[in-house]
Chains A and B, each alone.
Chain A
Amino acid sequence: MNMTKFVGIAALLLCICSDASLVRAAETLELNTDASKINFVGKKSDGKHEGGFKKFTSKAVADFEKPENGKLEIEIDTTSLWSDDEKLTNHLKNPDFFDVRKHAKASFKSTALVVGEDEGHAKIKGELTMLGKTAEIEVPCDVILNEKSIEVKATFVLDRTRWGMTYGEGKVSNDVDVTAHLVFNR
């Protein structure tokens, strides 16, 4: 989800070509936590539930000359988890799912940023650590560059079982739809 930020960096580079006034060589970006969201949708045989995390921080660096040098790190406070059902929120926090007492943080650290051929598109590769396990993921992103901010939007699917979250397999879908909308102030 946070990978999107990386994509944003890549997109910024592309934008530089079109609008020099918006671009500086390398830029440390500050996350606008109020405007940013990391949400997910879990599906089961008889429906689906929305959820997300209220608290997360991010460190991002955009390199407009060499976009591939951009970096993104995101740290999620898993105790801030929410969902559209209070009892589900309770269950999601327990060891069947996020085990927030034992693993209060989940993190993403980018390892590569690939700028797409289309302007405003990129892929962020990185390592997502959750429940004490680290797995590599790849996130496609859209990046919107403004004078005051950089917005990164990403929608992707995570297989929860890669991090050992196997509760309810067969009834609860392994694939979780993740949406990240990260807004960085410039």
Chain B
Amino acid sequence: MDQNLLTWCVLAPASFAVLGSLCGWWIDRKLVSGAECQSDGQTLSLSSGMIACGWWAAICAGFYSSDSVALWPEEAWARALWPVLAAAIFVSPHFKPSGIPSDAVFSPNHSVRSDTPGLWVLVSLIAVATASLVMPTGEGWDDMIPLHQPWIAAVALATICNSFALHRMSQRGANRWLPLVMLAGLASSTLICASAYGALAQACFAAIVATAVIAIFSAGGKLLAPAALILPCSLFATTMIAAGRFYSYAEIAPGDYAIAMFAPAIIALVDRIFTNKSPALRISIAATTAIAIVGYIAYRFLLS
């Protein structure tokens, strides 16, 4: 593998994700012992923020691999970095478990309850703002301007739907394996980006590596709030798919983009049917659905 890719799309993202996860785990342990924090809520917010910020630092490394990190990047897609950071800092901590007794902290099926109407207003605002920010403009993009409004709407809608669906899924006892579902969304965006523009694919790949690391921590029961990744991850995946569309000259059916954008929501919807079944069965069905979606996207965007 190319040294630049190995360093900035694999090793650095993995390191940042490990760091964020370890910080989150360490803070979660304090929650278990019940000592130094004023309340469980504050501790969990801090834990969620650490995980989300570690994940953001990881995708930052991916952006850096193509020199796309700047306060105001020339390439519109690279501006997604900042709203994703804002989501990680200000919104992710609200996706937290609450009212959990200390002895249930590492239970795989603990519930996550934090969805106030205000949270979803915030999610909607940040989704629309991010989508508006990443639409490419300027000389050379004039022919694409008619696509801006539909794509802003699509990115915002997909982000909200995916976040809501994943949040509900975590409430249904899937919190521990939630990052695996997020991986399916990121895999779809990576495939679309890989068919168009290397820098986009590199950023997506870094996100996959970071999410996979957090998924391992989460599956091992080491993280209380992997749901912290719900918004940053949904926002990032849909934004990259939109960017992939704008850098594509191929004729792709809008329905194919829709399947990729709503992949996490589709998986969550299928999982809804099997809520009362065993975790093993639910994971198997979710994995099968994810493989079917990612396989279809790979076929449509890379192989056909």
Residues of A near any B CB (own CB < 8 A): 86-87, 89-91, 93-96, 100-102, 104, 167-168, 170-171
Contact = CB atoms under 8 A, between A and B. Distances in A.
Contacts of B248: 90
Interface stretch (B46-54, B94-102, B165-173, B196-204): B196-204
Interface of B: 2, 75, 136, 139-141, 195-199, 247-250, 302
A94 B197 contact: yes
A170 B199 CA distance: 17
Contact of B141 (A91, A96, A101): A101
B2 A95 contact: no
B249 A102 contact: no
29 contacts: A86-B250, A87-B195, A87-B250, A87-B302, A90-B195, A90-B248, A90-B249, A90-B250, A91-B196, A91-B198, A94-B196, A94-B197, A94-B198, A95-B75, A95-B197, A95-B199, A95-B247, A96-B197, A96-B198, A100-B140, A101-B140, A101-B141, A102-B139, A102-B140, A104-B140, A167-B198, A168-B198, A170-B2, A171-B2
Nearest to B251: A86
Task: Determine chain B's interface SS by DSSP, over half rule.
Answer: loop
Given A94-B196, A95-B75, 18 more contacts: A87-B195, A87-B302, A90-B196, A90-B249, A90-B250, A91-B196, A91-B197, A91-B198, A94-B198, A95-B197, A95-B199, A96-B197, A96-B199, A100-B140, A101-B140, A102-B140, A168-B198, A171-B2
A22 to B, nearest CB: 44
Contacts, number: 37
A168 B197 CA distance: 12
Nearest to B303: A87
Nearest to A97: B198
A168 B139 CA distance: 27
Contacts of A90: 195-196, 248-250
Task: Determine chain A's interface SS by DSSP, over half rule.
Answer: loop
Contacts of B196: 90-91, 94
A109 B146 CA distance: 37
B70 to A, nearest CB: 14
7 closest Cβ pairs, A-B complex = A101-B140, A94-B197, A96-B198, A90-B249, A94-B247, A90-B250, A102-B140
Most A C-beta atoms less than 10 A away, residue of B136, B195, B197: B197
